[in-house]
Chains A and B, each alone.
Chain A
């Protein structure tokens, strides 16, 4: 038994795909579940592709010869900018909070996640208010230097591609921070020690050992950042930056051409597939495992003086600009406009937001576990592909996805209605369309990639010998998942839950289109005013989104830290 297990481990580490986990029991169910989940969450994506390929009126040649090339160039610029800036912020903060001890480090460990709770369009609005011509900064400068009009001096324009890059990176870097930091912590300290004894300097350890081993996590984090940036509508619209997403809305809302919108959305999907493909291709030969159970607790280097201050500065900057400034500004507006903004519906809206987000988070975790574990168990390429495809919903802007959700749901409802009508003479009406189910389904389709990706990257690090050992003790595959894997990857699962929850709290376009009658979430409430650029009057709700969003951020990051300490 033992030698057999070792054999198999050898095969696994050699990276040859195939029969690793093939056993007599249970895998058929996993395979089937993966297929079923993928098929269902792919329905909306297929509906959009269908709209793209069979448009009522083909606008493609017009788009191609006019605006599309520009959209694509701007989009690439935005993604490169946000990707690099967010990676830089995320990696530097993750590295210093993992490796060094300095005043405030313990607070930074969770506080650096806070900007994540701030919706991008809110931060964009806040900074525009501050930095534009009539903002207090330029007003002060004008008074100071006696300038009269905008033509008298130069000031960086916040409403620009560069502005959008900074705004998005400030609220998106926590993805990178979260993912990379988890890996830095899990990397066994002995690896770094070994590198040091072989003569590497601290800097070389970072570049040659720590960063390369963190690459899968970095890839997941940056991919999430890029997809969010690609999907952002609020900020780019406000800043008049013409990305593909902005183009989709123009074609749809202004030209009334849903087919054209679906066509641009399909181009975006290709973008993302290429991105993911490139990343996977570049690390196809890598495989790393950690036992997870007994990595050596490492000693943080204690810093003081100038070095401690430098670390503190690295951490405080993103926190100040990504969280403290926008929240203070919102709070000021919320107080000034309190009477206009306060409504007794607040509790209901908060509850709606919370309930939808919580259910969607649980749902994506549940399905994400099945997908990631199914992928681990069944090496058949159909399963591998199904898991990868099931993340496609994330590559689609919310509003287009919403239409993709409406089509299959309404078709299902109408089919059921017809069936009941003809069999029993009862009309069932619309069972799922226009209900919270439709909204939650859209959230799951959209954010499944986040949970599945995060769980998958955690599972990848669990050595296959764990499965062997459990199997030899007589556990079946489900028991192995629940009793061996889930406890080991709990931080990864909690991280995924947190990300999905906060993302759902902020989600707007799909919620707007799919929601039931008289149903408001905090985000839709903010939007009513924000869409008229009256954000002052909705500052209170925006603030509540942030506050409700940071509660799970704090709770979960504490429990992630706790579960790590337990392990150590």
Chain B
């Protein structure tokens, strides 16, 4: 008898649980007017201080879903009924993908346009950059003489054979760099370059940008490609400081076109149920206060002119950034991604 009791109550519980879940659903959907919903592929903990500042100033509650992939698809499937107002991304590719998927809308706002320089926003106002980061090269202090490595083009120079580390070739940061090479040199030359870089790799591409600097410290390689803000992140991390201290940060192509930069950015969703509030947050993100927090917290460069980078970042010195508009670079994204597979970069 005891056994029967077990099974029957288990079934009842199962059924009750399923029904309850269904009931709870409607409660989740209720949304007040003074709230804003964000789909973000930047980690929530990075965004939190800025969004908290916004809530404090305006009393508007900010709701976030963070995921690295799938959110554009979610937006697209949800269609006009999607609760999301704003899309935040960590690179330009995801912004233009969202535009391609038709889930963004044009924003033409004088404040935002004034704060965000034209080269860091979409010409049609579909997306806006919030911070920039340079794709730099970290060179071993011991094994690379100052001036020995200068340009991205040098990465393919046979003198660096077996001395270079990068993360996977098809990571968005590398794809954007390769796309900029295509934009400047044309496809054939860019492919030759990529084959040269591949031939110079010290090991199969693996790990993130920081792991490459760590590999330099360990003597696995002498040059590592990475985003600029990781330098700051490593210097402020007890365990990783030694990695950062083993390298010099080199901004490539200073005597030519300048260093390739990428952006983190935002776009208003097409279905935004709360456009006014969304616009308010978008403006806020481009203003001094938010820009300052970005700069301080994540060691990125603010897009707004006149906002200072963090002291640490300032310390690395001024650099010349590539002036080619990002939307132009991004138009070679797909070609760049295929090129990575064609040269077998990750094998």
Contacts and interface: CB of A to CB of B under 8 A. Distances in A.
B106 interface: no
A436 B25 contact: yes
Nearest to A520: B44
> Which of A253, A399, A402 neighbours the largest number of chain B CB atoms within 10 Å of its CB?
A253
B319 to A, nearest CB: 24
Given A240-B205, A411-B77, A249 B69 contact: yes
Interface residues of A, number: 73
A254 B10 contact: no
Nearest to A517: B63
Interface stretch (A308-316, A460-468, A479-487, A543-551): A479-487
Contacts of B70: 399, 402-403, 406, 509, 512-513
Interface in B184-213: 204-208, 210-211
Contacts of A483: 4
A431 B220 contact: no
Interface in A57-79: 62-63, 66-67, 70
B34 interface: no
B344 interface: yes
A359 B219 CA distance: 50
A149 interface: yes
Interface in A150-197: 150-151, 159
Interface in B64-82: 64-71, 73-74, 77-82
A133 interface: yes
A529 B46 CA distance: 10
Contacts of A487: 3-4, 7
A151 B202 CA distance: 11
B67 A512 contact: yes
Nearest to A261: B69
A149 B28 contact: no
Contacts of A150: 218-220
B18 interface: yes
Interface stretch (B128-136, B152-160, B258-266, B335-343): B335-343
Contacts of A414: 78-81
B203 to A, nearest CB: 9
A225 B44 CA distance: 33
Interface in B47-77: 63-71, 73-74, 77
A430 B82 contact: yes
Nearest to B169: A254
A436 B74 contact: no
B18 to A, nearest CB: 6
A67 B337 CA distance: 12
Interface in A519-536: 519, 524, 528-529, 531-533, 536
B207 to A, nearest CB: 7
A252 interface: yes
A72 to B, nearest CB: 14
B81 A413 contact: yes
B4 A436 contact: no
Given A363-B18, A413-B78, 15 more contacts: A240-B168, A254-B172, A359-B17, A366-B11, A403-B70, A403-B73, A411-B77, A414-B80, A434-B78, A437-B24, A490-B3, A512-B70, A513-B67, A517-B83, A528-B44
CB-based closest 7 A-B pairs: A240-B206, A149-B219, A517-B63, A513-B70, A362-B14, A410-B77, A66-B341
